[in-house]
Each structure stands twice: as structure tokens, then as C-alpha cells.
Structure 1
Amino acid sequence: MTELEKGPQGRRRGRGARERIISASQQLFRHQGINSTGMDQLCAAAEVSKRTLYQHFTGKDDLIAECLRRFDPDVLPEVFDRADLTPRDRLLAVFEIHAPLCPFIAAAVEIPDPEHPARVLARDYKLAFAARLTDSAREAGAPDPEQLGEQLALLLDGASARSRVLDTETLATAAAIAVVLVDRALTTPTHQNENHFQ
């Protein structure tokens, strides 16, 4: 039995092991990709034996799905549930947050099976995210909230994917485009007439 299989010295096996496994997985998946991360590497990073890992997760697929489930279960409550922001402000505030998009895009790109639990979670998350944008667009008074919500979701996903591929910051540009999209959508003839008579 190797030292790694015995578990880390000075730690009780099982104590916090699940959280260490998830934390190590999130970091490794983010930095080197899902497919490039092996179970031996995960065990070493989490300081657990393979036996311990398999006591907590049935396999890598289960682990990937759990990492995604934990990432943003309530779909950006720090933006969408803030009462101090107007609906317009919420639509633009999502462009200040970059991280929630990458894990889901990465999972969808790296896992070819559309029925894989991680792909299903990624799809559900993206639909929920667009729905929250649509709800904010509706609250802001957009005449076609579904279209604006989908446009903003597409813009944010595109900026996130481009940032990942080119290893460059694109969210500032996306945020500037979002301002134009939102302001055009919210400037209806009714709004213009109200402004004219004020």
C-alpha cells in the first residue's frame, strides 16, 4: 500500500474528505479541463485515497455533476435577488460576474453525451439563467423580454467562451454592448413620449 492510499498523515480519513474532493475537482477542472484531470491527480490534490473518493462518489461523472450542482444553485442570487438594484441595473450587473459561466460551458464542450448528468445540469442552468434575465427584462418594461433575455444570455456566454479561448478579458466589451442592447430595448415610443412631456 502506498503512502497516498493510506491517506494524508495527521488527518482523520473521511473528515472533510468530500469537501476536499469537490474543492480540488473544481480547481483542477477549471485550470486544466475535465477530460485532462485524472482520478489519481484528484486524489492527490484532495489528499484522499481512491477508496475514500469512491466512498463519496460513484465515479468521475458523479463528481463532475456535483461540482456543477454546487457552483451556482440559485442562479446568481447576488444579482437577481438584490432589492437595491433596478431591473435594468440587474440586467447589466450580470456582466460584472464572469465565473458562473465557464464551468457550464466547459462541461458542455468537453462532454459529448447530451444525456450525461453534467450536460443536463449545464443545459438546465443556461435555461434558468436566460429565464432570470427575461424576468428582469420584463420587470424593466422591455416590449419583448424573451428576446432581450436571450440576447443578453448569448452575449454573456459568447464573451465568457471568447475569454476562455483567447485568455483575454472580454467582459468589459460585452458590458458596453449590453448597455446598448438594454437601452434600445427599453426605449419604446411610449417611453419617449413620457420623457418628451416631462
Structure 2
Amino acid sequence: MTSLEMGPTGQRRGRGARERILRAAGELFREHGVNATGIEQVSESAQVSRRTVYQHFGGKDGLVEAYLQLHDAAPVPALERDGLTPRERLVAIFEDALDATPPLCPFIGAAVEIADPEHPARRIARDYKVDLAARLAAVARDAGAAEPEVLGDQLALLLDGVSARTRATGVDAMPTAVTVAHVLLDRALGPPT
């Protein structure tokens, strides 16, 4: 690292600070929660000054909001995957997560920890959850579900439940969720052909 990349306190500065801050915040929020994570911890982990965090995000509320917006913009790969039937895309959401780290939903974490229902992070979480259920319903419609909104809501609830249960117990609940997803799909669409 050149001296131009180091600030006066020896911390990294310059290019990539925003991304480092968001990455550090994400790791800390997942590990410790939103409320237990302070700006000081984020700045130390990101190797930037507290001032840099405030310059980019205005404070912790802005940081939490940006963190959730980053996740909100991320696609759900299984819903967009080519070469799969709509039913296979719905199953893939759950099966893909079997190989991933435990599914701790950042939106649920923030919504549970932030008491103010009008906080921007709560609004982002609420909008994301409504949109995800609608996207699941659209794929369920393509799969031929008689009641696609019901199936979309059931699958969204299952995803939320697996995240909450995993967070509460520390045990990955996704294997059970995959089984339940198959039951829901069989009930709504009939057995796979």
C-alpha cells in the first residue's frame, strides 16, 4: 500500500472507501446486529476514519439504509435462471441456499431491531418483502398455480421463517424449508412431471 493510500492516522483512505464501509457494516450487522454495531466498529473494520463514514452516509441511519438498498437491488438468481421451468426456479431459491451460509435475511434483522415503523430502513424492508412475495407469485402464476398470490405469500413466509429460525436457534433451518417448499409446490401445482 502506497503512502498516498494512507490517511494521517495510518488508516486507508480514498478509492473504495464506500464499498469497504458497506462490506464491513454488512459483516458486523450480520454478526452482531444493527443496534449493537457502532460507527466506531464499522470505521475500524473498514480501515477508514469515522469522519469518512459520516461523509459517505451522514450517520448510522444512513449507513443502515444504504446497506439494505444494496441488498434490495441484488437479484434473486434462482428467479432469473435460464433453462429452468417456473416450478424449478421456485425450488431453486431454497435449494441454492443449502450450499450458502445460513440464510440470515438483512431485512428481517433490521426490521426487528429498529423500533420506529417510519424509519427508512423499515420502509425498505417492508417494500422488499412485499415485492419478493409479488415476484414469487408471478413465477407461481407462470408455473400454473390456481392461486399464485397465495403460493407466493406462502413461499415468502417460508423464506422469512427460515431466516428467523436460523437466527434465533443458530441452526440452519434451510434443509427443513426445502422439504416444506416441495410440499407447498406439490399442493399448489400437483406433483412434478
What TM-score do you get using the length of structure 1 for normalisation?
Answer: 0.86
Whether 1:79 aligns to 2:78 is yes
Instruction: Indicate how the Cα distance of structure 1 residues 168 and 101 shifts in structure 2: closer, same or farther if over 3 A, else same.
Output: closer
Aligned residues of 2:68 and 2:125 also touching (Cα < 8 A): yes
Counterparts of 1:14 and 1:91 in 2: how far apart (Å)? 42
Cα displacement (A) at 1:151: 0.7
Once the two structures are TM-superposed, the CA of residue 14 in structure 1 deviates from its matched residue by: 2.3
What is the Cα deviation at residue 80 of structure 1?
Answer: 1.1
- Alignment-mate amino acid for residue 15 of structure 1: R
TM superposition score normalised by structure 2: 0.88
2:58 counterpart residue number: 58
Amino acid across the alignment from 1:93:
A
Q: Paired residue for 1:113?
A: 116
- Partners of 1:108 and 1:122 within 8 A in 2: yes
The 3-state SS of whatever aligns with 1:6 is: coil
Give yes or no for the alignment of 1:126 onto 2:125: no
Contact 1:25 1:42 in 2 (8 A): yes
Instruction: Work out which of the residue numbers 182, 187, 192 in structure 2 matches 1:184.
Output: 187
Determine the C-alpha separation between the residues in 1 that align with 2:8 and 2:29: 25
Q: Give a deviation string over 1:87-112, Cα, whole Å, max 9, x none.
A: 00111111133667510100000001
Aligned to 2:93: 94
The within-5 A match list for 1:151-170 is 151-170=154-173
1:175 and 2:178 matched: yes
**Structure 2 gaps, min length 5:** 1-6
Task: Specify the code of the residue in structure 2 equivalent to 1:133.
Answer: L
Which residue in 1 is equivalent to 2:10? 8
1:92-144 alpha-carbon deviations (Å, 9 max, x no partner): 11113366751010000000111111111111111111111100110000000
Shift of 1:169: 1.3
Measure the CA separation in 1 of the matches of 2:23 and 2:152.
32
Q: Is the 8 A contact 2:87 2:140 kept in 1?
A: yes
Larger Rg: 1
SS at match of 1:8: coil
In the other structure, the counterpart of 1:46 is 46
